[in-house]
């Protein structure tokens, strides 16, 4: 018989196949000790079998144990030396050191101890981080290395790079340092008005053509004077009346209430006036369906009643002759005008002489009136004085009207300016303290109305939403089935 260990078919003992694997968990098993089942691995059936067999689970556990040992101890425990795994316990000396330490030493040790937050965030893995190769790479390293070697060779021959030569030249020929202006120099420097006509900046442009300066953009365009005039004399921020305070006096609060009451009263009067204008007169009755139908059929009924009977047409001959004469008198007959006879030579001469005499008389009359006006100089002067006084009075009225309208908002667009509502609280709404004070008004709306009142923007209204397409209502099938 052949020996048991000889040949390839013999079985090895358990001690020979032991790999020396040590696991951290009690369930850790060396996968080399397990018997493998043979079978196809390139089929899906083999994948399922390997995943469901204990071997696949043990392989996962083995790999997890290996990763755990690498994280905690930096390598496999079976490969670690004894000095790393075992140590000599000398706890008595440590206790004696703890007893000998003073209170200040213990406090210093506590201060040196890291915080718990830092310990949680600290990396406890013993596996070294992978080396970042890109961080140690230098772009064009080979080219730079060859260039350094070349300059080292040229430096031995006595030739230096251009940058080094320039730096040496700057050191040999150092530029002269300019003296910084002190405070006394700045005080002695003359001051000038930038907007004055004789400032030194506009001296090079003096004496040149104005058109040339405007075309070459060297001279600014003259601004019109009305740009410096405010569109309204109303202050930008108006002080609210004293009655709008959080703690007003009785008289101020009543004055503000009266002003708000007058505004509401005027608004109510305008609404009532509009209702009176749109209301039907008391004598007329409102239109009904029957009256509307009769009004539409009015012309048709008259034509049907006025239809002529047969035999009474316009071709019938009138019986009496008197009727014919009446019809002849009413109907207009064209009358031919008599031919105008031609004027004789004598008639023409008389007309020309009469016209010449009429012109001569008119000239004499005008000369006589001018001669008489010399005696009316006093009356003419009084008339001119009255006219000048009337023109001055009208000019003063226009000036006063302009001053009165300077504070009023003008009509800048199609809408009129509407004053905002008066922010007022009733006597029962007044707060006892600032904590219970209820805010009134809106700052943004107040600024917007102020711009409109000062004629800076035109009064506007919110744009109306207009849909470009019709809304199509569709009933869903599920809802239709439920009904």
Check pLDDT > 60 for residue 331.
no
Confidence band for 176, pLDDT divided at 50, 70 and 90 = confident
Token duo for residue 43? 């089929």
Neighbours of 256 (CB within 10 A): 21
Residue 216 CA to residue 203 CA, distance in Å, equals 17
Give the range among 11-20, 260-269, 349-358, 435-444 with minimum mean pLDDT: 11-20
Token duo for residue 172? 């040999």
Confidence band for 138, pLDDT divided at 50, 70 and 90 = confident
Confidence band for 314, pLDDT divided at 50, 70 and 90 = very low
Confidence band for 129, pLDDT divided at 50, 70 and 90 = confident
- Give the residue carrying structure tokens 């795994």: 85
What's the pLDDT at 383?
A: 93
Instruction: Give the mean model confidence (pLDDT) for residues 136-149.
Output: 87
**Segment 419-472, tens digit of pLDDT:** 999 888 888 888 888 888 888 888 999 999 999 999 999 999 888 888 888 888
Top mean pLDDT of 153-157, 161-165, 264-268 is at: 264-268
What's the pLDDT at 390?
A: 97
Instruction: Give the mean model confidence (pLDDT) for residues 160-188.
Output: 75
Residue 255 CA to residue 253 CA, distance in Å, equals 5
Confirm if 407 and 234 have CB atoms less than 8 A apart.
Answer: yes
What's the pLDDT at 282?
A: 72
Closest CA to 422 of 259, 271, 269, 265: 259
What's the pLDDT at 389?
A: 97
Confirm if 219 and 207 have CB atoms less than 8 A apart.
Answer: no
Q: Which residue has the higher pLDDT, 410 or 189?
A: 410
Confidence band for 271, pLDDT divided at 50, 70 and 90 = very high
Average model confidence (pLDDT) across the chain: 79
Check pLDDT > 80 for residue 284.
no
Instruction: Give the mean model confidence (pLDDT) for residues 65-69.
Output: 89
For the four alpha carbons of 52, 55, 60 and 65, in that order, the dihedral sign comes to positive
Residue 456 CA to residue 390 CA, distance in Å, equals 36
Tell me the C-alpha to C-alpha distance, in Å, between residue 163 and each of 80, 150, 197, 198: 57, 15, 53, 51
Top mean pLDDT of 66-70, 129-133, 173-177 is at: 66-70
Task: Tell me which DSSP letter residue 219 carries.
Answer: S
**Segment 50-65, tens digit of pLDDT:** 666 666 677 778 888 8
Residue 362 CA to residue 153 CA, distance in Å, equals 127
Question: Cα 269 vs. chain centroid, distance in angstroms?
Answer: 41
Residues near 253 by beta carbon (within 8 Å), at least 6 away in sequence: 243, 427, 430
Q: Which residue has the higher pLDDT, 85 or 457?
A: 457
Top mean pLDDT of 208-222, 236-250, 292-306, 328-342 is at: 236-250
Confidence band for 386, pLDDT divided at 50, 70 and 90 = very high
The answer to whether the predicted template modeling score (pTM) of the entire model surpasses 0.75 is no
Q: Which residue has the higher pLDDT, 248 or 318?
A: 248
């Amino acid at each position: 018989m052949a020996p048991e260990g000889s040949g390839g078919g013999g079985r090895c003992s358990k001690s020979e196949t032991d790999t020396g694997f040590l696991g951290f968990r009690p369930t850790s098993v060396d996968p080399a000790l397990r018997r493998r089942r043979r079978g196809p691995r390139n089929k899906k059936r083999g994948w399922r079998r390997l995943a469901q067999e204990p071997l696949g689970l043990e392989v996962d556990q083995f790999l997890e144990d290996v990763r755990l040992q690498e994280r905690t101890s930096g390598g496999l425990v079976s490969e670690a030396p004894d000095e790393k795994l075992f140590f000599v316990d000398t706890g008595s000396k440590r206790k004696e050191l703890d007893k000998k330490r003073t209170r200040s030493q213990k406090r210093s040790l506590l201060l040196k101890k890291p915080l718990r937050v830092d310990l949680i965030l600290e990396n406890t893995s013993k596996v070294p981080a992978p080396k970042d190769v890109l961080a140690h790479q230098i772009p064009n390293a080979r080219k730079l290395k060859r260039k350094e070697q070349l300059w080292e060779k040229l430096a031995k021959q006595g030739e230096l790079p251009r940058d080094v030569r320039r730096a040496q030249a700057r050191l040999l020929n150092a530029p002269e340092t300019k003296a910084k202006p002190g405070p006394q120099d700045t005080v002695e420097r003359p001051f000038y008005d930038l907007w004055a006509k004789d400032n030194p900046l506009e001296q090079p442009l003096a004496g040149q053509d104005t058109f040339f300066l405007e075309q070459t953009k060297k001279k600014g365009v003259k601004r019109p004077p009305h740009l410096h005039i405010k569109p309204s004399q109303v202050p930008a921020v108006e002080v609210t009346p004293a009655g709008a305070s959080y703690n007003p006096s009785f008289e101020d609060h009543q004055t503000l209430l009266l002003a708000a009451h007058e505004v509401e009263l005027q608004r109510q009067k305008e609404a009532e006036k509009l209702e009176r204008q749109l209301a039907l007169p008391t004598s007329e009755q409102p239109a009904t369906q029957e009256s509307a139908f009769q009004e539409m059929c009015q012309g048709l009924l008259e034509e049907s009643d006025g239809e002529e009977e047969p035999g009474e047409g316009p071709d019938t001959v009138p019986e009496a002759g008197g009727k014919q004469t009446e019809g002849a008198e009413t109907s207009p007959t064209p009358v031919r005008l008599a031919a105008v006879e031609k004027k004789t030579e004598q008639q023409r001469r008389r007309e020309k002489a009469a016209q010449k005499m009429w012109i001569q008389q008119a000239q004499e009359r005008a000369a006589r009136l001018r001669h008489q006006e010399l005696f009316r100089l006093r009356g003419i002067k009084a008339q001119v004085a009255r006219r000048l006084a009337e023109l001055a009075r009208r000019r003063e009225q226009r000036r006063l009207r302009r001053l009165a309208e300077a504070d009023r908002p003008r009509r800048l667009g199609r809408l009129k300016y509407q004053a905002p509502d008066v922010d007022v609280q009733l006597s029962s709404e007044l707060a006892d303290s600032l904590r219970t004070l209820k805010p009134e008004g809106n700052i943004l709306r107040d600024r917007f109305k102020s711009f409109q009142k000062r004629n800076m923007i035109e009064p506007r209204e919110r744009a109306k939403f207009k849909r470009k397409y019709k809304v199509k209502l569709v009933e869903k099938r599920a809802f239709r089935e439920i009904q």
